């Protein structure tokens, strides 16, 4: 199957590739500065990514760097001054291309995701829609794709859709966004790309293990609504603090050597007895008594503080797994209940 070129990738896909390249820790920091809608969109794209060739990955990173540079120049001195600065650095042709990319990125094109959609698939989704909706979609599509779909519409629809395109003027942005959101949700299961490992469920799991619980729940809830099968895959791969009961004693002992005692005391506040016993059972009696004293003297602790401590310990567990010091794989036959 032909590999996609960078100009065939949507802005969301490129953002997902950049996040995957940056790694979960930096990506988690970026997510904190995005809106809920943006977090949902990028997380879904990261989960869908499977194969991105090194060449495509390199080109996306290069494009991101060039756009960031061009945007800085534009912010400092406007488009024309930016063009002059970029021409000196990259030549006239490259400067013009970089400026166009930045300007286009600032002006999001409606129905951009349809550029990579097979016309026959799209036809099956829109032919039963209202003629005005079909006209709106076709008006924003590349002419070649729109022409193919128009010729395949039922004969009684073609004239009416064509007429509505001809008389169409300005459509309120909220109407376009609503139609776009509904259509993209309908087609999310059939829009796919062949790519090399640069995202996928594992990348999303690594990211989720480094964001706060509220963001984690938001992403998982959205993923469950849009792609239940993928959500199950991600949840099965995730390791949460309470899963420490699934680990063997040797692994728990390795983890305890790397964890701050006060952080551990905070993380154990409010967890079920099985988790506490798993930890206590892998400590010396003296260390266990000191930990229990710390927990007792600590008093009530905010849930957010507890979750932050649990996340820090999960990050340690992930690091030990990646280095091969412990294994956190969970086969179904080994799950404890």
Q: What is the pLDDT of residue 2?
A: 43
Q: What is the pLDDT of residue 192?
A: 42
Mean pLDDT of 51-61: 82
Pair 302, 318 in one domain:
yes
Pair 271, 218 in one domain:
no
Q: What is the pLDDT of residue 116?
A: 61
Q: What is the pLDDT of residue 44?
A: 79
Pair 3, 93 in one domain:
yes
Mean pLDDT of 119-136: 83
Among 130, 122, 142, 251, smallest CA distance to 188 is for 122
Q: What is the pLDDT of residue 215?
A: 76
pLDDT over 90 at 70, yes or no: no
Pair 261, 330 in one domain:
yes
Q: What is the pLDDT of residue 275?
A: 92
Q: What is the pLDDT of residue 264?
A: 93
CATH of the domain at 327: 1.10.220.30
pLDDT over 90 at 172, yes or no: no
Among 223, 226, 248, 225, smallest CA distance to 236 is for 223
Mean pLDDT of the chain: 77
Location of structure tokens 């040797």: 250
Pair 8, 92 in one domain:
yes
Q: What is the pLDDT of residue 193?
A: 40
The residue among 172, 187, 202 that closes a domain is: 187
pLDDT over 80 at 94, yes or no: no
Pair 102, 202 in one domain:
yes
pLDDT over 70 at 6, yes or no: no
Pair 314, 272 in one domain:
yes
Task: Say which range, 251-255, 322-326, 330-334, has the weakest mean pLDDT.
Answer: 330-334
Pair 257, 228 in one domain:
no
Give whole-number Cα distances, 63 to 85, 97, 99, 105, 196, in Å: 17, 10, 12, 12, 18
Mean pLDDT of 296-320: 86
Q: Could you tell me if 312 and 263 are in contact, meaning their C-beta atoms sit under 8 angstroms apart?
A: yes
Pair 56, 128 in one domain:
no
Domain that holds residue 73: 1-111+194-238
Residue 280: pLDDT band by 50, 70, 90 thresholds? Answer: very high
Environment class of 249 (CB within 10 Å of its CB; exposed 0-12, middle 13-18, buried 19+) = exposed
Pair 85, 216 in one domain:
yes
Mean pLDDT of 302-331: 81
Measured distance CA(133)–CA(176) in Å, rounded: 9
Residue 196: pLDDT band by 50, 70, 90 thresholds? Answer: very low
Pair 165, 301 in one domain:
no
Q: What is the pLDDT of residue 93?
A: 79
Quote the number of domains for the chain.
Answer: 3
pLDDT over 80 at 166, yes or no: no
Tokens found for residue 102: 């930045």
Q: What is the pLDDT of residue 329?
A: 55
Q: What is the pLDDT of residue 254?
A: 93
Q: What is the pLDDT of residue 85?
A: 75
Residue 115: pLDDT band by 50, 70, 90 thresholds? Answer: low
Q: What is the pLDDT of residue 274?
A: 92
Among 225, 10, 4, 5, smallest CA distance to 110 is for 10
pLDDT over 90 at 30, yes or no: no
Pair 123, 148 in one domain:
yes
pLDDT over 60 at 250, yes or no: yes
The residue among 206, 238, 270 that closes a domain is: 238
């Amino acid at each position: 199957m032909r590999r996609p070129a960078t100009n065939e990738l949507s802005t969301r896909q490129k953002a997902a590739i950049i996040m995957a390249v940056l790694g979960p820790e930096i990506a988690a920091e970026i997510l904190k500065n995005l809106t809920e809608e943006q977090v949902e969109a990028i997380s879904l794209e990261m989960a869908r990514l499977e194969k991105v060739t090194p060449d495509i990955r390199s080109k996306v990173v290069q494009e991101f760097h060039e756009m960031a540079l061009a945007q800085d120049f534009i912010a400092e001195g406007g488009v024309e001054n930016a063009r002059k600065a970029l021409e000196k650095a990259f030549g006239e042709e490259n400067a013009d291309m970089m400026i166009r990319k930045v300007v286009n990125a600032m002006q999001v094109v409606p129905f951009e995701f349809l550029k990579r959609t097979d016309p026959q698939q799209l036809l099956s989704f829109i032919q039963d829609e209202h003629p005005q909706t079909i006209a709106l979609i076709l008006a924003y599509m590349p002419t070649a794709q729109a022409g193919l779909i128009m010729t395949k519409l039922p004969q009684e629809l073609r004239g009416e859709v064509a007429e509505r395109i001809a008389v169409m003027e300005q459509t309120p942005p909220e109407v376009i966004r609503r139609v776009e959101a509904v259509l993209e949700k309908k087609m999310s299961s059939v829009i796919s790309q062949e790519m090399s490992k640069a995202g996928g469920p594992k990348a999303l799991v690594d990211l989720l293990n480094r964001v706060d619980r509220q963001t984690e729940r938001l992403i998982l809830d959205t993923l469950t609504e849009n792609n239940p099968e993928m959500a199950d895959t991600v949840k099965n791969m995730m390791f949460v603090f309470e899963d420490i009961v699934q680990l063997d004693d040797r692994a728990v002992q390795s983890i305890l050597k790397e964890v701050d005692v006060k952080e551990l005391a905070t993380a154990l506040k409010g967890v079920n007895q099985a988790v506490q016993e798993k930890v206590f059972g892998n400590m010396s009696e003296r260390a266990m008594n000191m930990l229990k004293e710390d927990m007792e003297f600590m008093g009530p602790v905010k849930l957010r503080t507890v979750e932050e401590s649990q996340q820090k310990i999960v990050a340690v567990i992930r690091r030990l797994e990646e280095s091969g010091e412990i294994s956190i794989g969970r086969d179904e036959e080994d799950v404890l209940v």
